[in-house]
Amino acid sequence: MAQQGARFLRKEEVAGSNPVDSTMSNLLGDVSRILFPTYCLICGKETHGELVCEECLREVKRTKGLRCVKCDLPLKSAPKDGMCKRCKRRKWSFSYNRSYGTYSGTLKKLLIELKYHDHPRLAVLFSSYLIKLIMDSDLNLNKSIITFVPLSNRAKRNRGYNQTYLMAREISKRLGIPCYSVLKFRRQPLEQINLSEEERLENMKDIFTVDKNYIVDVIGKNVILIDDVFTTGATVEGCSRALKTYGAQRVCSFTVARSKWQGNKR
């Protein structure tokens, strides 16, 4: 029987207390880097196990300056009510969206790597950006839960993982806010990429619902909704409408990037 007050050491604590183990670990790390070198996804420069080099990471900038208070679209001038023209004519269900950067350059390339080139580890990087946004928000985190945009069956088969879930899980772990798989599809959506703005909004209208097992967790809560890119707001609106229907007090969207909608171009 263990002595009273004894503490069980974690594996890494035991290894760290032994200089031989530490030396062996460093040696194995060096051998691994020689046999399996890693290269920056953006510039191709060799890294020390990282997916992106420090120089390329510095190219990812947080958006500054005037932005729509509702959808976070960058603005050239400040309107009286703080909203862009699109948000003035829409009645959104979400309180606001906050995006870390603009969907362009290095940030866009990294999001494409995460979604389409099998680099789920990038979700940890993006979660650190989203945590900054959440900590700067007006939310009472003690009365909040985290959820994420679900993935269609088609995307799940092609990708093998849901990048928004990976980000939400990491944020939950680091901030200590519960994360639930609250949302699910009523029906499978059409591909958004070739749809106009109105078609996107219609495609996402009433397509989401709340899993009955999580209704009690939604009622009266501030819901932190995690997604990768905010474009027209159709997906965030569809999720928010379902969450508000089932009793969420507020829904605030946090996305990695804000993409400027280019009208009804196909």
Buried b vs exposed e over 46-65: b needs ≥16 C-beta within 10 Å? Answer: ebeeebbbeebeeebeebee
Amino acid at 161: Y
pLDDT at 9: 36
For 78, half-sphere exposure in the C-beta direction (CA atoms, 13 angstrom radius) is 4
The pTM assigned to this predicted structure is 0.84
Quick one: tokens of 165?
């879930």
Distance, CA of 133 to chain centre: 11
**At residue 17, does pLDDT exceed 90?**
no
Q: Which tens digit of pLDDT belongs to each residue from 57-70?
A: 999 999 999 999 99
Give the model's confidence band at 264: pLDDT under 50 very low, under 70 low, under 90 confident, else very high: very low
pLDDT at 197: 80
Beta-carbon contacts of residue 28 (< 8 Å; ≥ 6 apart): none
Residue 238 to residue 186: CA distance in whole angstroms: 11
Q: Which tens digit of pLDDT belongs to each residue from 98-115?
A: 999 999 999 999 999 999
**At residue 12, does pLDDT exceed 70?**
no
**At residue 250, does pLDDT exceed 70?**
yes
Q: Which residue has the higher pLDDT, 68 or 189?
A: 68
Nearest to 125 by CA among 50, 192, 74: 50
Quick one: tokens of 3?
């002595």
Question: Which whole number is the average pLDDT over 77-96?
Answer: 93
The proportion of the chain whose per-residue pLDDT surpasses 70, expressed as a percent, equals 84
Q: Which residue has the higher pLDDT, 31 or 163?
A: 163
Beta-carbon contacts of residue 26 (< 8 Å; ≥ 6 apart): none
**At residue 214, does pLDDT exceed 50?**
yes
Question: Which whole number is the average pLDDT over 257-263?
Answer: 76
Mean pLDDT of the chain: 87
**At residue 233, does pLDDT exceed 70?**
yes
Own/partner long-range contacts of 62-66 (Cβ < 8 Å, ≥24 apart): 62/100, 62/101, 62/129, 62/132, 63/99, 63/100, 63/101, 63/102, 63/258
* Strand blocks (E) in the chain: 38-39, 46-47, 96-102, 144-148, 183-185, 208-210, 222-230, 250-258
pLDDT at 13: 39
- At residue 62, the 3 state secondary structure works out as coil
Residue ranges of domains in the chain, CATH in brackets: 70-258 (3.40.50.2020)
